[in-house]
Amino acid sequence: MLISIKLFVIDGRDDEYVVTVKNAINEVTKRLYLKGNLVRFVSVRVNREFLDIIRSMILGGEGPAEFVPIVNELREYEIFDLPALVINGKKVFEGRALGPSEVSDLVIRRIMELIG
């Protein structure tokens, strides 16, 4: 089973989440002796300069065509605030300032549930 993890962050503000999620993935793959290719991790970084435009587009406003793919993806997962974490198509959290240990625990728990 392939586990897909997407982390949506504001570039420059939420970088610690990227590191935390990568570390959690490494920890759980080692702990459970999983092959590294079972977990696919992607971080989607949104530039602060464009955040207001993207938020407006999510709510139905108009904006540049190049933002449409990210806006559609955020709508698909019903994400309205960042950071946000999606694991196998299910939004795990959004917009909350979780500490590294909480994020790590969420990732590990969800992966273990999926392979369980």
Supply 64's token pair.
């540049």
Give the pLDDT of residue 68. 96
Strand partners, 93: 85
Q: Which domains does the chain have, with CATH numbers?
A: 3-115 (3.40.30)
Query: DSSP label at 10?
Result: E
pLDDT of the residue at 22: 93
Q: Which tokens is 10 given?
A: 């504001």
Q: What is the separation of C-alpha 15 from the centre of its chain, rounded to a whole number of angstroms? A: 12
- Cα-flanking dihedrals φ and ψ of residue 12, to 5°? 90, -20
Q: What are 30's two structure tokens? A: 């080692």
CA atoms of 36 and 15, how far apart (whole Å) = 22
Tens-binned pLDDT, residue by residue, of the chain (116 aa): 789 999 999 999 999 999 999 999 888 888 877 776 688 999 999 999 999 999 999 999 999 999 999 999 999 999 999 999 999 999 999 997 788 889 889 998 998 888 87
Which pLDDT belongs to residue 96? 76
pLDDT for the residue 33: 79
3-state secondary structure labels for all residues of 16-37: HHHHHHHHHHHHHHHHCCCCHH
DSSP state for residue 81 in the 8-state scheme: S
